[in-house]
Copies of this chain bind each other. A is one copy, B any other.
Amino acid sequence: MTIKALAFDAYGTLFDVHSVTALCDEFFPDRGAALSQLWRSKQLEYTWLRSLMSNYEDFWHVTEAALSFAGEALKLDLTDDKQARLMNAYLHLTPYPDVTSALKCLSHLPLAILSNGAPQMLTEVVANANLSAEFKHLLSVDSVKIFKPHASVYQLAPDTFGVAPHEIGFVSSNGWDVAGAAHFGFRTFWINRNKQPPEKLGAQAFRVVSTLHDVADELQKMN
């Protein structure tokens, strides 16, 4: 069975969400890593909680709210100016070192991003990393007003590519996203960047790999 299209998670998979740590550290010496970690974990929490509460707000607002909570919880003086500059940094996240070259190796397939990000955030972060030409589609949860791992998000990919879920390879570094996507029916490639155990959510990754280049290798083996 061939994979006919690939969909990629964006944040944590293509783009390093912790590339904001340097700016966090500039504003709050020695607290940068703590701020970045809590910001990220609250951001995810809020996507799950708002989805379950049926109280959707887009990822830009959720990311801003998470930053604001993290600043208060860590008792940092997060002025409006600092908050604005950190949010702006989210539009300039650094792609992981394997991303640009690996995407070129995968360009024989139609590629999409399938992300929690608001449309404008995705357009900007992809453009700022010079990756706009690589993707045929930037698919945002914003069109269905609920976040991952809800099935209606993953459904955007088969609807857009016009192929069945099991013909789509879904690539993510977020273990919970891999579980959601596998449960939905994608063939999932988990780039286990942080060497984590698999999430125990009742669905396994199709392949567990270390870098985006391994995805190209695995696809070649399947042919």
Contact = CB atoms under 8 A, between A and B. Distances in A.
B45 A176 contact: yes
Nearest to A183: B53
Interface string A156-173: 000000000000000000
A73 interface: yes
Contacts of A72: 197
B46 A201 contact: yes
Interface stretch (A17-25, A63-71, A89-97): A63-71
Contacts of A69: 197, 199-200
Number of copies: 2
Contact of A49 (B46, B48, B55, B65): B48
A53 B179 contact: yes
Contacts of A176: 45, 49
6 contacts: A49-B176, A49-B179, A52-B52, A55-B183, A55-B201, A69-B200
Given A49-B199, A69-B199, 5 more contacts: A49-B179, A52-B147, A53-B151, A55-B183, A66-B200
